[in-house]
Chain A
């Protein structure tokens, strides 16, 4: 049986792509280019990026989960990975893979934030440039985003098994 062109699954996938795509892009952008915003000349742009990543590195270290090398790796790689992932979600290319990675990221963030909350750690979440304490509100936000990402992943896999009515008979790409 062919599915309708626009149904609940596709609607949720579209909302998930747009919402999570924008959130990931903003999260990565804010870690790289905020709060220090000296963009000119080039040497100041470089300094701003390095100082923002250094600041993010401090926030990662405050969770007390990684070695110094691990903190350096995460602080320098994660913001760019978030931007890339956000772009992939927005474009919708290889959606099953990008949605699955987004789900993993969000589940990981939810786990570390929940751990920090349970341990009564008075630290900043490090999610965006603005200082946000770890709190129940942050846990609920992360839970909602993780739920959306997981549903989006499941629906993406389900949709891939059903040919789109406008491409009846054509094989769907990965």
Chain B
């Protein structure tokens, strides 16, 4: 076997290997494309356009609560993996919802601000956003915050979310997450936060009708927050 023949044989084998690898890869790509297409078919209808309330722009209506005619808009930037955000959500925001949002005094906007140092906060935000878009916001946000230490250690965000939903609801949520249609909404919240700028979570921005804004950085207890809200609510 001369040198040229060996070279030709090696080249042929190399091309054949690369070609077969490409052929093996393409069905997966086709499958992914198909599943993505089917996911978008079974997903919920396209999300509602963002709204503006009292000068606060780009509000995802699925993550906003209360009456748009409230005299105060409260924007809260949180990270699902942040312990202070958990404390704020469980001890302060729930009471604000009951005593101010449900009584049409405050319009609350929840913005996602996943921090880069938290490995699973982005995926948690995706699942929570998807749950909000099928009307199961409270259940999923509650289970994520209450079980924060568990899924933070294991990374099992999906399992935690599934525990709060029926199989049919979980399927819809998973389809939304896989479709990636809600990622731009999360990224928009992050960009809005960076523009403030939000330097730590939680950060709450309270807006009044006359254009005043009051940033509140870090955890704040309900009793302390009400001293401000009672001043601002008319």
* Complex contact B218–A55 (CB within 8 A): yes
Is A54 close to B, CB under 8 A? yes
Cβ of B215 under 8 Å from chain A: yes
Residues 124-150 of A contacting B (Cβ, < 8 Å): 131
Query: Shortest CB–CB separation between residue A155 and chain B, in angstroms?
Result: 39
Once bound together, how far apart are the Cα atoms of A62 and B220, in whole Å?
14
Check if B219 sits within 8 Å of A58, measured CB to CB: yes
A36-B224 contact in complex given A43-B231, A123-B83, C-beta closer than 8 Å: no
Is A54's CB under 8 angstroms from B224's CB?
A: yes
Decide: A54 near B221, CB < 8 A? Known: A36-B216, A123-B83: yes
Q: A35-B218, A54-B221 are in contact. Are A131 and B200 (CB under 8 A)?
A: yes
Among residues of B, the one whose C-beta sits closest to the C-beta of A122 is B83
Nearest-CB distance from B77 to chain A (Å)? 14
Interchain CB contact under 8 A, B231 and A38? no
B16 adjacent to chain A (CB < 8 Å): no
Once the chains bind, are A51 and B200 in contact (CB under 8 Å)? no
Q: For residue A47, which residues in chain B have a CB less than 8 angstroms away from its CB?
A: 224, 227-228
* B218-A36 in contact (CB<8A): yes
Chain B residue nearest to A34 (CB atoms) is B217
A46 close to chain B: CB less than 8 A: yes
Contacts of A55 in B (CB 8 A): 84, 217-220
Chain A, 48-79, CB within 8 A of any chain B CB: 50-52, 54-55, 57-58, 62
A36 touches B217 (CB 8 A): yes
Instruction: Knowing A47-B224, A47-B227 are in contact, say whether A54-B219 is a contact too (CB < 8 A).
Output: yes
Q: Can you list 23 residue pairs at the A/B interface with Cβ under 8 Å?
A: A35-B200, A35-B218, A36-B215, A36-B216, A36-B218, A38-B214, A43-B227, A43-B231, A46-B227, A47-B224, A50-B227, A51-B218, A51-B224, A54-B218, A55-B84, A55-B217, A55-B219, A57-B221, A58-B84, A58-B87, A62-B83, A122-B83, A131-B200
Q: Which residues does B use to contact A, with CB under 8 Å?
A: 83-84, 87, 199-200, 214-221, 224-225, 227-228, 231
